[in-house]
Amino acid sequence: MYRILASLFATIILSAILTPFVRKLAFKIGAIDKPNARRVNKVPMPTMGGLAVFLSFNIANIFLLKNQYPTDQLVSLLIAQCVIIVTGVVDDIYELKPRQKVLGIIIAALIVYFVVGVRMTTITIPFLGTIELGWLSLPITIIWILAITNAVNLIDGLDGLAAGVSIIALTTSAITGFFFLNVTSTFVSIMMFTLVAALIGFLPYNFHPAQIYLGDTGALFIGFMMSVFSLYGLKNATFITIIIPVIIMGVPITDTIYAILRRVLNNKPIAQADKHHLHHRLMQMGLSHRETVLVIYGIALIFSFISLLYPLSNLWGSVLLTVATLFGLEIFVELIGLVGDKRQPLLDWIKKLVLMAGTHERKKHNKK
């Protein structure tokens, strides 16, 4: 245990040391985020910071924690990571088209499925029993990896936002997987904590005012690793094992779902960028850059606390908890206008109920 803790501390230090070197490298090779109408930065900012996270994470795994992992898993997973990192670095320098980035993620996902051997094979649905996925295992696994990877990439819009939210989500996932979900591969939790350590070392350079961005190198890498880690607990998926990682990653998943819904309702391409994401809306409401990030950290913590209630609940308790979470989330989304200022179906329905109740009470009073 002490060796693991020492290794995690060393990972933090290593990440903090490597980040300034990656920053200089980003300037030299042209991995720079230039200001435009959609960006929040006012000056050119070095990106590709995720390379420092990737290097410190894997140096720690290979040289400090090697004995904690199965060698075949460590090597094959590293190959998949390299595909993601190359995709991210190229995108940070040349700006790939969405379909080109998706291709890189799919290649890495195929390595995870066929080489690493991590995949969804069965799913247990309440009242229906266990269903063998068969040939559906491949597309479902790839879709899961694509969805989570892109969700993290979409929230990387403010200084320290994606890194901080990922630290919260990964820490919760590691604790939940180790203590509650009985994930037999304990090395997965250790690997999660190692990635958390790498992100902690990077965060001081990334928090507002940032000196370097994660870039697609970092956002894609973190999202990809989070999706793979969650798959270790989803080999034999159940309602609980599926809902817990979804709740833990509630911030990026919510932002992604409502971004898609917003664009569909406004007849715009799903891949078209806009300035109506969660962080944009909070800033438009008057919060400062740093306040917005801290508020979203708080939302991520709320999701994490909710996720910890699931292992303690029975099936019906979990269903009620999910319904309550979705209800509260929809009210919050409508209040901040994440889909649009005039799109408030649930709030409008609640207002109608209140008006109807008030009218009914007045009629009863008048009869008296």
- Tell me: is residue 236 an annotated ligand-binding position: no
On whether the CB atoms of residues 60 and 194 are closer than 8 A, the answer is yes
Q: Residues 158, 279: contact at Cβ < 8 Å?
A: yes
Strand (E) or helix (H) holding 331: helix 315-336
Q: Which residues pair with 45 in a beta bridge?
A: 33
Residues with Cβ within 8 Å of 291's Cβ and at least 6 positions away in sequence, in order, are: 282
Residue 165 Cα to chain centre, angstroms: 7
**Tokens 């080109």 belong to residue:** 100
CA-wise closest residue to 225 among 80, 331, 101: 80
Residue 129, beta-bridge partner list: 125
153 annotated among ligand-binding-site residues:
yes
Q: Which residues pair with 32 in a beta bridge?
A: 46
Alpha carbon of residue 101 to chain centroid: 17
- Answer whether 112's CB lies under 8 Å from 144's CB: no
> What is d(CA 343, CA 350) in angstroms, rounded to the nearest whole number?
14
Annotated binding site: 153, 216
Annotated binding site for Mg(2+): 153, 216
